[in-house]
Structure 1
Amino acid sequence: MSATDVVHCMLTALFAAVAVRALRQSVLARTGGCRNRVDHLLHAVMALTMATMPWSWGGTLPALPQSVFFAAAALWFPLTAVRSGREGHLSATVRRLPYAVGMAAMTWMSYRAAGHSRQTMADGVPTAHQAMRAGHSMGESKAGSVVTGVLALYLLACALHSLTRDMPALRATTGTVADPTSLRSMCHRFWDGATAMGTLVMLLMPH
């Protein structure tokens, strides 16, 4: 097994675990109502899709419907940020922004996959059009690199923030009985950080 296959296996295992956790939370969710269940189901669909992406058979999934679905999912999180008057719109939107960016990254990866398919189908265009198509592709490549870079930096910041936020607290509570609520919050942030890091790796991997 090559090093690339090992990475693929690790990503598949990660996102399979994320999907199982999200499905479990959607079933067991007792607070947050319908919005909370939809959040978890969207995360489960995202994780299942990501689990198949590293493999050749994962490319058989239609790219355009994926782009539309994940674009709608990216809009869902900020548009449903405020469910009551207890939290300001700005703070609620900022709190849900990492999930929206994760869905946006999925949209971008699906869009790139669709563009790659179109390019493969267009390999037989006449020579007279090749220079024009090459110039257009170069412009798209530069813009695409900017989009990928922005998404990657944000995902990296989210991953590091979630994975390192509880480190001082863990050192401080060593040898003491931890509050169950605190443990659930730590677990939630760990999975958020691991998902963001896995999405970052998928975003930067060649497909």
Structure 2
Amino acid sequence: MDTPVDIVHFMLTVLFALAAVHALWHGVRSPGAGRRDRVDHLLHAAMSLAMAAMPWSLGRSLPGRATTVLFALAALWFPLTALRRRTANRVAEIAGRLPSAAGMAAMAWMLRAPHGRGVPTHETLAAGVPGVHDTAAHGHAAGAPVPAACVTGLLTVYLLACAMWSLTRPMPSLRSTPDAAHRAAATDPYGHVRDGAMALGTALMLLVPH
């Protein structure tokens, strides 16, 4: 019988698979998209596919130095490429790319070592070894290093805030005259929903053992 964690993993897999298809479609098919936009979409697709595979046996080959470095470089790609673009408000440009950078950083952070080390596996539980379900529900075993738990907590809180921001941006404004953020979001509502769903799913992946 499926455990609650398995059900959450299945739901996250579906979410990330849909996000990967959307990002890949826009990365390949969007007419007039610049090189930076195409790379952005392809990085989002790669991250979504990796996230979808991570909880399952297929994802066991993901952890490694090369994969970790790849997503760490992807985390740097988003703010650094904003510096190269000449805009009237460079700070806003960089801030708008930080959620994507945080998602890539979270991916690299989870791949640095087996996530949830010390959390009992299904085989261990089936053998009758006492488990720590309460701790596993938070994605960490008892005795996890405090600095690591702080980094995980900061990434989780920031990604949850980004998720709420992205998911609510396409919603109709209560103001009689929508502000610039709502007008911009209205041009690509599905993109903002995808970004918000990815941020929410990534925050959950940081907490759920896999």
Task: Please tell me the TM-score bracket, short chain as reference.
Answer: 0.7 to 0.9
Name the CA shift for 1:147/1:182 in 2 (closer, same or farther; >3 Å). closer
Instruction: For 1:56 and 1:110, locate their aligned partners in 2 and report how far apart those are by CA, in whole Å.
Output: 15
8 Å Cα contact 1:63-1:113 kept in structure 2:
no
Q: Which residue number in structure 1 is paired with residue 43 of structure 2?
A: 42
- Following superposition, the deviation at residue 9 of structure 1 comes to 1.0
Matched, 1:188 2:191: yes
Matched, 1:86 2:90: no
Q: Which residue number in structure 1 is paired with residue 170 of structure 2?
A: 166
Matched, 1:201 2:204: yes
Report the AA paired with residue 152 of structure 1: T
Q: Which residue number in structure 1 is paired with residue 27 of structure 2?
A: 26
Name the CA shift for 1:113/1:162 in 2 (closer, same or farther; >3 Å). same
Larger radius of gyration: 1
Runs of 4+ aligned structure 1 residues displaced above 4 Å come to 114-117, 181-184
Post-superposition Cα deviations, 1:133-192, rounded to whole Å, max 9, x if no partner, equal: xxxxx99711101100110110010011111233343998xxxxxxxx865422221111
Instruction: For 2:37 and 2:56, locate their aligned partners in 1 and report how far apart those are by CA, in whole Å.
Output: 31
Post-superposition Cα deviations, 1:63-111, rounded to whole Å, max 9, x if no partner, equal: 2211100000000000101454334321111110100000000010001
Give the TM-score normalised by structure 2. Answer: 0.76
1:51-200 matched pairs, under 5 angstroms: 51-82=52-83, 84-113=85-114, 141-169=145-173, 183-200=186-203
Name the CA shift for 1:57/1:153 in 2 (closer, same or farther; >3 Å). same
Name the CA shift for 1:56/1:68 in 2 (closer, same or farther; >3 Å). same
Report the AA paired with residue 152 of structure 2: T
- Following superposition, the deviation at residue 113 of structure 1 comes to 2.2
Give the TM-score normalised by structure 1. Answer: 0.77
Instruction: For 1:139 and 1:90, locate their aligned partners in 2 and report how far apart those are by CA, in whole Å.
Output: 39
Instruction: For 1:81 and 1:61, locate their aligned partners in 2 and report how far apart those are by CA, in whole Å.
Output: 29
Q: Which residue number in structure 2 is paired with residue 130 of structure 1?
A: none
Percent identity over the alignment is: 50
Once structures 1 and 2 are overlaid, which stretch shifts more, 84-93 or 49-58?
84-93
Name the CA shift for 1:115/1:149 in 2 (closer, same or farther; >3 Å). closer
Instruction: For 1:25 and 1:83, locate their aligned partners in 2 and report how far apart those are by CA, in whole Å.
Output: 23
CA RMSD of aligned residues (A): 2.7
Name the CA shift for 1:89/1:171 in 2 (closer, same or farther; >3 Å). closer
Q: Which has the higher helix share?
A: 1
Instruction: For 2:71 and 2:23, locate their aligned partners in 1 and report how far apart those are by CA, in whole Å.
Output: 16
Instruction: For 1:139 and 1:200, locate their aligned partners in 2 and report how far apart those are by CA, in whole Å.
Output: 21
